[in-house]
Amino acid sequence: MLSRKRKIFFLLLYVTTVSVLFNGRQSARFVNYISHVLETRSCACQKCLSEGEPWFMDRYNQSVKPFLSRKHGITEDIFNWWKRLQGDRSSFNNYTEAIDKVFQMIPDKDHNTQPSPDKCRSCAVVGNSRNLKGSHYGALIDSHDIIMRMNRGRTQGYEIDVGTRTTHHVMYPESAKPLPNTTHLVLFPFKTKDFRWTINYLPPSSHKYQPTKNTIELIMLSPAFMKYVHENWLLNPTRTYPSTGFMAVVLSLHMCDEVSVFGFGADSDGNWSHYFEELRNKLLRTGLHKGPQEYRIIQQLFELQKIHMYKGW
């Protein structure tokens, strides 16, 4: 099928030809109208995320800034909401001191996630579900502009099913693994201690925290974005918070114009089992997260044609 931009190109070519042969003034007006429509669209895809159904637009806030920077920090009210996620006892001053130290080490970039009328950015969000085994999605995943993996997700030995490329790897300290210098580390912080981890790695005696290479580019998700996902997308469920995978899906809606989701969903027993390891706790289900609710929302995004969803086997 022809892309949208190629279709419009041929339409403009046709109308221009007609204008030369017949009525130049009226055809020129139509050319200007088509050009205006193209210029005012937010992206160069056949369909942009900002064009859409009320259900989606009620949840999607394009003005939200997903990443932390000195310019886009958080208020104390947001900090007080965020610190309760994992019982952080730090003060707001402790938090701001840790953030200041981080920005002394890494470039303070204002990451632009706004769509552009001359681009069609594609994202592959690759979860860790067991349904990726035998899927043969590897080449399709690798064809995307941005490929986002998470936690301990791996490619070596699973290339046919999950691909080889990773541009952004979502992690928090307890799920950290070494990354190549070509991959952005996207830190999903759940407590002030997570920011300190990026400054000075904890000693080896703390088995939960594994150091990563400090030469890779670090991007930090904003606690304000976590609150936005919790309130706008999950509608404030009590005693829980969004999973890493679900936040990655919503993040991709803000980073890309076309989103494909792979490797999401529980197994037949209702557990979040992984393609790269055997599940030991058969009663895990989806842990502290509202897994079924998150999956229903992802399914709804697929049904509304906001994302492509690949379910594996």
Residue 265 assigned to a binding site: yes
Which residue from 184, 155, 158, 157 is spatially nearest to 171, judged by alpha carbons? 184
Q: Token pair of 308, please?
A: 């492509």
Residue 86 assigned to a binding site: yes
Contact 66, 113 (CB under 8 A): yes
48 in a domain, yes or no?
Answer: no
Which residue among 241, 254, 275, 310 is the active-site one? 241
Considering the domain architecture, whether residues 25 and 143 belong to the same structural domain is answered as no
47 in a domain, yes or no?
Answer: no
* Most confident among 16-30, 79-93, 258-272 (mean pLDDT): 79-93
Residue 2 has pLDDT above 70, yes or no: no
Residue 163 assigned to a binding site: no
96 in a domain, yes or no?
Answer: yes
Considering the domain architecture, whether residues 162 and 230 belong to the same structural domain is answered as yes
Task: Identify the three-state secondary structure at position 181.
Answer: coil
CA dihedral 255, 48, 262, 125 (to 10 degrees): 0
Q: Could you tell me which residue, 51 or 61, shows the higher pLDDT?
A: 61
275 in catalytic set: no
Q: How many domains does the chain have?
A: 2
147 in a domain, yes or no?
Answer: yes
Residue 199 has pLDDT above 70, yes or no: yes
Q: Provide the pLDDT for residue 270.
A: 65
Task: Identify the three-state secondary structure at position 199.
Answer: helix
Q: What is the CATH number of the domain that holds 235?
A: 3.90.1480.20
Residue 35 structural domain: 4-40
Rounded to whole angstroms, the Cα distance separating 3 from 89 reads: 53
Residue 78 has pLDDT above 60, yes or no: yes
Residue 54 has pLDDT above 60, yes or no: yes
Question: 206-232: b or e for each residue (b if 16 or more CB lie within 10 Å)?
Answer: eeebbebeeebeebbbbbbbbbbbbee
Residue 241 assigned to a binding site: yes
Residue 18 has pLDDT above 70, yes or no: no
Rounded to whole angstroms, the Cα distance separating 173 from 166 reads: 19
289 in catalytic set: yes
